[in-house]
Amino acid sequence: MSKKQQSIIEVKDLHKSYKNDGLSYHVLKGVNMSIKRGEYVSIMGPSGSGKSTLLHILGLFDKFDSGNYFLDGIDVNHLSETEKAKVRALKIGFVFQMFYLIPSLTVLENIILPGLIVNRPRNELIEKAKHIAEKFGILEILEKTPNKVSGGQMQRSAIARALINDPAVILADEPTGNLDSKSGKAVLDLFDELHKEGRTIVMITHDSNVAKRAQRTLYIFDGFISEKPYHKSD
């Protein structure tokens, strides 16, 4: 099997429950999912379907009750929290709806931060950040703070930050949710380009028009996942 045909994400019979006020809520009910290296996959589902919980597990922010999760060949089940943090920093690039840029830092400082966390040389990171910024059309805002730039520029900056460590996979959570239609299209165009370069992208969305930009769409509803859309009659 070639490297590109290998699964970058492999999820088997994943279960997750939460307890609230003494009641247990079974959020994920045996999720099975395989995403190949270089795939661009969208995951659609309504509020409360379990898509955010699944993304948090894929991003190693949340634990699961049972099942198996392999990320780039790593069995994450038995990793310590310190090991998870290292894998998360090196293997995963995050793009969030709310951007989560640190307001007191410049755009450049925000972009290079994940690299500094894993002790990469600052000069090397700055050169790489400038190269990405030029490609993304944000070179002129690198010394500005996030409150001085547009929403579209903030999201492109967040995507640049996600790429700084050359992650195995990009996880995007409603990446156009806070953008106007023009800025949203520009961000989706950018994801298209990243996919053409061979990047693996997993994008959570509730918007079918956004989901269509992906190579493949998975559907999650009431804790179950499928290759086919769910309907009220199901």
Our separate counts of H helices and E strands in the chain read 7, 10
pLDDT for res 233: 42
Distance between CA atoms of residues 99 and 124, nearest Å: 24
Residue owning tokens 């994943």: 14
β-bridge mates for residue 203, sequence order: 42, 172
At 18 the three-state DSSP class reads strand
In whole numbers, what is the pLDDT of the chain averaged over residues? 91
pLDDT reading at 230 higher than 70: no
pTM of the model: 0.90
| Domain at 3-226, CATH class | alpha beta
Q: 225 forms bridges with which residues in the sheet? A: 220
pLDDT, tens digit (0-9, with 9 covering 90-100), for 110-154: 999 999 999 999 999 999 999 999 999 999 999 999 999 999 999
